[in-house]
Every structure is written in C-alpha cells, then in structure tokens.
Chain A
Amino acid sequence: MDSQTVLLAVLDGLSYGALLFLVAVGITIIFGVMNIVNMAHGSMFAIGGYLAATVGGWLLAASLSPYWAAVLLPVVAVVVGVVLGGLLESLLIRRIYGKDPVLQLLVTFAAFMIFEDLQRLVWGGQPYSSSELVSALGVIDVLGISYTTYQLLVVPGTALLVFFALRLALRRTLVGKQVMAVAHHREVSTTLGINVRRVCLFTFMAGSALGALGGAMSVQTTSWVLGIGAEMIVLSFAVAATAGLGQIEGALVAAVLIGLARSFSVYLLPELEVLMPYIIMTLVLLFRPQGLFSVAQARRV
C-alpha cells in the first residue's frame, strides 16, 4: 500500500465516518434521553435521502443553481424530522415509555415496517440519485489526489458543525440542560418542573432530523435503493453500541474508527469490507461490554 492509497483510504474513511456519525448521533441522543432504541431511525435516513433526491430533481427541472441544494438539504432534514419524527413520537413512542423494552423495540420495528412500504408506495422500486451539488462544487487536489470538495470538506464539515452545535446546545442552553436532566432522571426532572413530554418530543424530532440529514447528504454520492434504511439502521446501531449508548463524543470517535476501518479494508481485504463495522463492534463489546466510552451506572436492585 503506497502513500497515495493510504491517503485515499484516510479521506474515504473520514468522509464515510462523518456520514455515519450524522445518522448514529441521532439514534444516540434518542436513546440517551428516552432509553428507547429507535428501529425506525433507518427509515428517517432513507426518507431524508429520497426527499432530497426528489427536491434535487425539482431544482434541476426549474434550472436553478445547484447551490440551492446546500440550503435545501438541512430544510429537508428538518421537515422530515419535525413531521415524521413528531408524528412517530406523539402517536406511538409517547405511549410506550413505561413498557417492557421488548415491546418498545417491537413498536419501533412495526413503525419501520410501515415506513418501508410507504417508501415503496411513494418512490417505487427504481434507484434515485442526485449529484448536481457534488459536481458543481468540483474537485480539490490533495497531495496529488483529486478528491471531490463535497466529500472532502462539506460532509466532514457538517458532521463537525453538528457535533459542536450539539455539545454547545446541551451544555449552554436552557433546553439543552433540560434534555440532560431528563436523560439523567425522568421523574426527578418532572418534579423539578421540566416539561418532560415536550423535551422528549423535541429530542425525538432532533434525532430524526439528524438521521434524515445523514440521508440527504448520502444521496448526493450514493444511489438510493429500497432497503437502504434497513442496512443503515444496523450500521448506526453498531456505531452507537461501540461508542457506548448515549455517548455523543463516543459516537464521533466510533464513527470515524469504523469509517477508517471500512475504507482501509476496501483496499486491503475487500471481502471483509461489509463486515468491518460488526467485527469492530464485537471486538469492542468483548472487552468493554458497555461500549468504549460508557460511564459507570448505579445498579437498581
């Protein structure tokens, strides 16, 4: 492996890891606050991508500048998050907080199944893609390698922006502090006068919007087919579990780790490419059963 290939693998890995982080951090904050693993998160990713591709098509038809897509991607994500995430939370998730974890998983699994068919009904079976923004942004030369600006700067930049914005919001704003309080202890937060219902709804919308943002950004470089959400849900779980559930910083590290491992295996061991995330997750959990960055928790007997 010469230095050019190494660099290429690193760039691939960072860009892929950034996308992975966007999706996984959504599932992570939802789990952190509500203790619910949202199986329907993959659907948010898929629908975000489909919608972004559709909107990209409209832009093209209206012969607007492809740079508009840069404005539209976050809008698409927020719309998906607020509408679908809001519906999901207020219709289903809100009713299952106190229930058996098995039933909670099944409810989100049912939502996932329903969304899966909705995608088929709305977008059909043909593949979608939308690469106008990527080609409009052009390429950059990095040490002799031409790499698309989109994957080199825009995607990792967005991921970092989201990461720092989340950290800042959770630590410095009132809403963020309320979210942290609910994550620590639901009942105590209620007695402190926090509107737990609203906090949960808000968190769920934000988490879903992040999943959709990941999708909207992925569809620029990947071809969108049915079943892509089912793949992504497992991957983002792998990231979240490797990190330790509920750990935002951990999710960033784990996503980059898995992204790099995957891109290096593309060049070194192509057969193992798809397996890399799961191998890493299994290895990590073998030695750190609660994930890399988990903190000690009080046991309730």
Chain B
Amino acid sequence: MRSASMQTASPLDASKKAPRLPLFLAISGALALLAVLLPQALPWIKTPFIFSTAFGIAALGVAILVRAGQVSFGHAMYMCLAGYFVAYLSRWAGGLDAILLLLGGTGFAALCGLVIGSFVVRYRTIFFGMLNLALSMVLFAVLGKFYHYTGGTDGMRVNRAAIFGVRLDRDGFESALLYLSVALAMLIGYAVHRYFRSAAGEALAAMKTNETRLEYVGISTYRVFLTGYVLSAALCGLAGAIFAISQGLVTPEMGYWVRSGEIVFISILGGVIHPVGAFIGSLIFEFVKLYAAAYLTGAWQMTLGTVLLVMVFFAPDGVAGLLARRILAQEGQERKAGGRP
C-alpha cells in the first residue's frame, strides 16, 4: 500500500498520513481472526458470521457509490439476482461446485449491473436512488408473481454444493463457507482499497466534490461512474451468492427495498473511508439485530434506527471515520509535544 500516492480522495483530509494504515490493517486481521476462531468455541455463531461477511461485501459495493456521493436504494436487487441465478444453476446443473456458483452469481450480477447501469448512471442523487429502487421493486414483484418459474414468495431452494470438489456435512460445509467468505472478503477489501487509490477510484471520489470540473479535465464521468456501478453490482452479487448458498433458500424478500436501505445503512455505519469500515458496520449490524431480536422482541428495527440516528449526528464518517479522527488527534498531540516532525 503506497502511502505516498494517497492524496485527495478521502473524506478526511489527513488520510495521506501513513500510520492509519497499519491500524486498519490490524483491524482487518483481527476481524478475520475473530471470524475464524470464535466459531471454534461457539459453533452457532458461524451463520451470523457468514451473513455479516456477505453483507459486509455488499456494503462495500454500496460504499463505492457513496464515495461518488450517490446512494442507491435498490442494490439488494443485485443480491437477489445473483441468489436466484445461483438457485437456477444448482437446479439445472446439479452438483455444480460452490466456487462456480459464486462465480456465476457474481458474473450474472455484474452483467445485469452493466445493462441497468448503462442507463441508470446518467442520473444523480434522488433520481439515481429512486430508479434503482423502482427497478428493484419491479424485480421483487416479478419474482413474487411468476410462481411457476420462481416459486413465488416461497422462493427457491439451493441444494448444498461441494466446495472445491469436496462434499461436506452441514457443519463442515458451514465452516468451509465461512473460511471461504472471510478469505474472499480480505481479498476484495484489498482490491477495493487499491481501486480507491487508483485513477478511476480517485475520479469517482472527485465526482462527489465537483462533477463539472471532472468533465472539464477531460474525464468521462459516465465511464467512471459506470465502472463503479458495475463493480458495486458485482460485489452485491457475490454477497447474494454467498447468502443464497449459506441459507439454502432464496426468496423475493432478499431484494425488497428495505434490505437495500439496510445495506446503505451498514456502509454508513462502518464508514466509507476505508474498506474495512463495511465489515465493521456489518458485524455491528448483524449482532445488534441478533440481540435486539432476542431481547427486544419486535423492536429491532427501532434499535437499528436509533443506532443509525446516533451515528449520523455524532459520527457521520462512521466507525472507521471515528478511528481515523482519533489517530489524527493523537498525532497532533505528539507533534505538539515535539515527538515527531
């Protein structure tokens, strides 16, 4: 990770500072270790961890758009599309490997993202958000209506697949899927981090600051935004595929607009300043939901809503933003004390 080339993109100005990176790297490592080690002691926690990894990947996809200043209230549609594609694949070509299912789901979502994106990325702010929302509602309604093809609101089953050619029992399968998704999350987190620092990623963040100026320097915002859009669709697709394989069932509910809102919520909760934010956000989200559902029956949405409000008002840059600010403050003190130049 090159510290010298980080310049303008991050919401916090001093993101050029190198010391932040080791911290975020350490957090990523700690999260991955937690996700791998904790289930050894508490086996029931595997599924929540798989879900939160999946939602983290989806939130990372949405975070790409948030960096461009746009918010989509329809990205659960890509999770849903990938999930159903996986279900069809496993029905038609039985015995397909989970790896191929994941790849297939991601690819299909990326393709859909390209087709839908090619006209949706011409819109901004609320129109962008609403068009995505409308399309996701169309998908939701179609999936619910065409019972003969999609199983209606009952959804479709996804049979347990082999992973890397190995057939496992339920418990082993869940462990394998957990390790696989954590590995994927790490890989993707790094790739997205590189993307944010690349020319295309920097241009994407510049769209938020001033789009006209971006066009003026000769960069096509259409292409920049479309790249980001397809990427975000692919990540949501991967998340949907993991979700479908893990749950063994896909329903239209996966693509309901409230799910899309939750993905946006996760990405803001974690913060879009660094990819690890999405995973911090999804972990908090999944466990607040789990505990609120268990202890405050019927009030988990209220709990999440309150958490969201507190975040927006007191930490609009998310948990990752809070951490970054804290480090900056410490650095400032050290500098005052003459510790470092």
Which residues of chain A have a CB within 8 Å of any CB of chain B?
A: 31, 37, 39, 92, 95-96, 99-103, 105-107, 109-114, 116-118, 120-121, 230, 234, 237-238, 241, 245, 271, 274-275, 277-279, 281-282, 285-286, 289-290, 299, 301
Are B146 and A271 in touch, CB under 8 angstroms? yes
B291 CB-CB contact with A under 8 Å: no
Give 10 A-B pairs besides A102-B268, A286-B119 with Cβ atoms closer than 8 angstroms.
A101-B125, A105-B129, A110-B304, A112-B305, A117-B300, A117-B302, A281-B134, A290-B127, A301-B212, A301-B213
Q: A234-B134, A238-B134 are in contact. Are A116 and B301 (CB under 8 A)?
A: yes
Q: Which residues on the B side are within 8 Å of A117 (C-beta)? A: 298-302, 305
Are B308 and A234 in touch, CB under 8 angstroms? no
From A92, A121, A285, B131 is in contact (CB under 8 Å) with A285
- Cα–Cα, bound, A285→B119 (Å): 10
From A230, A277, A279, A282, B258 is in contact (CB under 8 Å) with A230
- Cα–Cα, bound, A238→B133 (Å): 9
B138 CB-CB contact with A under 8 Å: yes
Closest-CB distance, A163 to chain B (whole angstroms):
23
- Cα–Cα, bound, A149→B70 (Å): 46
Q: Which residues on the A side are within 8 Å of B210 (C-beta)? A: 301
Q: Which residues on the A side are within 8 Å of B91 (C-beta)? A: none
Q: Which residues on the A side are within 8 Å of B125 (C-beta)? A: 101
Closest to A278 in B: B134
- Cα–Cα, bound, A99→B142 (Å): 36
Closest-CB distance, A301 to chain B (whole angstroms):
5
Chain B binding site: helix, strand, loop or mixed by DSSP? helix
Are B137 and A234 in touch, CB under 8 angstroms? yes
Are B126 and A114 in touch, CB under 8 angstroms? no
- Cα–Cα, bound, A5→B29 (Å): 65
Q: A99-B316, A113-B308, A234-B134 are in contact. Are A106 and B126 (CB under 8 A)?
A: no
B141 CB-CB contact with A under 8 Å: yes
Which residues of chain B have a CB within 8 Å of any CB of chain A?
A: 66, 69-71, 73, 119, 122-123, 125-127, 129-131, 133-135, 137-138, 141-142, 145-146, 210, 212-213, 256-258, 261, 264-265, 268, 298-302, 304-306, 308-309, 312-313, 316
Closest to A233 in B: B257
Are A120 and B305 in touch, CB under 8 angstroms? no
Chain A binding site: helix, strand, loop or mixed by DSSP? helix
From A100, A121, A238, A271, B316 is in contact (CB under 8 Å) with A100
Q: Which residues on the A side are within 8 Å of B213 (C-beta)? A: 301
- Cα–Cα, bound, A102→B126 (Å): 9
Are A114 and B301 in touch, CB under 8 angstroms? yes
Q: Which residues on the B side are within 8 Å of A230 (C-beta)? A: 256-258
Sample 26 A-B pairs with CB under 8 A, ordered by A number.
A92-B309, A96-B312, A99-B316, A101-B125, A102-B66, A103-B268, A105-B71, A106-B265, A106-B308, A109-B264, A109-B305, A113-B302, A116-B301, A117-B298, A121-B298, A230-B256, A234-B257, A237-B134, A238-B134, A241-B127, A245-B126, A271-B145, A275-B142, A282-B135, A285-B127, A289-B123
From B135, B257, B305, A110 is in contact (CB under 8 Å) with B305
- Cα–Cα, bound, A282→B122 (Å): 13
Are A102 and B301 in touch, CB under 8 angstroms? no
Closest to A241 in B: B130
- Cα–Cα, bound, A102→B311 (Å): 13
Closest to B73 in A: A105
Closest to A286 in B: B119
**Best-surrounded residue of A99, A116, A230, A234 (most CB of chain B within 10 A):** A234
Closest-CB distance, B171 to chain A (whole angstroms):
34
Are A110 and B133 in touch, CB under 8 angstroms? no
Are B257 and A274 in touch, CB under 8 angstroms? no
Q: Which residues on the A side are within 8 Å of B73 (C-beta)? A: 105
Q: Which residues on the A side are within 8 Å of B141 (C-beta)? A: 274-275, 278
Closest to B296 in A: A117
Closest to A96 in B: B312
- Cα–Cα, bound, A281→B309 (Å): 31
Are B126 and A101 in touch, CB under 8 angstroms? yes
Q: Which residues on the B side are within 8 Å of A118 (C-beta)? A: 302
Q: Which residues on the B side are within 8 Å of A109 (C-beta)? A: 261, 264-265, 305, 308
